[in-house]
Structure 1
Amino acid sequence: MTAPLPTAVQAKEQAKNLRATLTGEGTAIGHAQSLERVSHQYGFRDWNALLAVIGNGPPVDWTPDDKISGSYLSQPFAGQVVLCETLKPGWVRLEIQLDAAIDVVTSSEFSNLRRRIRGVIGPKGHSSERTSDGQPHLRIDM
C-alpha cells in the first residue's frame, strides 16, 4: 500500500526532519539530498518529479462557503470562507465569517468581539504577522 502523497509543505517538513534525524545520528546530509530521499520514499525518481505531481501551491483551495477553523490572535474559531484571493503561489488572502464572535483582547479591562476576520496566510497555513508572544495572527487548521 502506497502512502498518500504529501503537500509540498509537508514533504519539505519531512525532509527537514529527516535531515535533523540523520545529523543527530552522525550522518550529515544537505537539504537537497533530504528532499531527494523523501521523493524516493513516495516512489518518485527525484524532488522535481514529486513536486510536479503535488504542486507548490497552498495545500487547500478554499472557496466561498467552505467551512474553516483555526485560531485568530490565539483565540480558536470556526467559520465560513467569505473571500479567498490568491496573492502569489502559496499565499492567499482570506475573509472569514465566524460562527460565533471571539474576543481578541486578552485584557480583563475591556473586550473587542469579532464576527468577521481577514488575513493573509502562507503555504504552512498561517500568517507571517505575529503577536508579541510570537504566535501567528491567523492560523488555519489544515
Structure 2
Amino acid sequence: MSYSLDTPSAQTLKSEAKSLRQDRARAGQMLTHSAALEEVARAHGFRDWNTARAALPERVAVPFQVGMRVKGFYLEQPFTGLVLGVQLAHNMQNYTLTIHFDEPVNVTPNFMFAALRQRVVTTVDIHGVSPALRGNGQPQMRVLRA
C-alpha cells in the first residue's frame, strides 16, 4: 500500500475524534470516545475504526515537503530545484519525489548532444539517496535541503 502525504495518520484521526467529542459536548450532545472514533473513520471513507486503524500508519515522518527548496546531484550533475510532489512508498522507507530543476540538467554522459531534463520523478530514502544505482555504483539521485 502507498501513502500520499494527504493520508492521515491514526494519530490524526484520534485527534479529530477528540475535537468532535468536545464540539458535541459544547452543543450539549454527549458522545463517547469510541462513537467519535467510528464517526471520524466513516468520514474518512473507512467502514469502521478498526478498519481505519489497520490501514493507516501510526505517524508519517516526512523528510521532504512540497514547496521545499532542494539541491543535490541527478545522474552526477549538480542541480537546485523545487519539490513539487512527495509520496510515501509502500515499504514506508522510501519517498517518490517530483522535482522541478531551476535550470535544465544535461543527462547524457558525453556532450556530443544534449538531453536536458527539468522535471524528474525519483525514488529516494529518508536521507535523500536513491536506491537505484548507475553503472559506476553511484546513486542516480542525491537530494539535500537547499
Query: Does the TM-score normalized on the shorter chain lie above 0.5?
Result: yes
Aligned to 1:139: 142
State the Cα RMSD in Å: 1.9
Please show how residues 23-42 of structure 1 align to structure 2 within 5 Å.
none
Q: Distance in 1 between matches of 2:100 and 2:126?
A: 21
Structure of greater relative contact order (alpha carbons < 8 Å, 6+ residues apart)? 2
Give the 4+ runs in structure 1 shifted more than 6 A.
Answer: none
Larger radius of gyration: 2
**TM-score, L = length of structure 1:** 0.55
Aligned to 1:76: 78
Classify the secondary structure of the residue corresponding to 2:102. Answer: strand
Please show how residues 22-61 of structure 1 align to structure 2 within 5 Å.
60=63
**TM-score, L = length of structure 2:** 0.54
Aligned to 1:115: 118
Aligned to 1:8: none
C-alpha contact (below 8 Å) 1:57/1:89 kept by paired residues: no
Classify the secondary structure of the residue corresponding to 1:141. Answer: strand
Aligned to 2:101: 98
Q: Distance in 1 between matches of 2:109 and 2:137?
A: 15
The superposition leaves residues 16-39 of structure 1 with CA deviations (integer Å, 9 ceiling, x where unpaired) of: xxxxxxxxxxxxxxxxxxxxxxxx
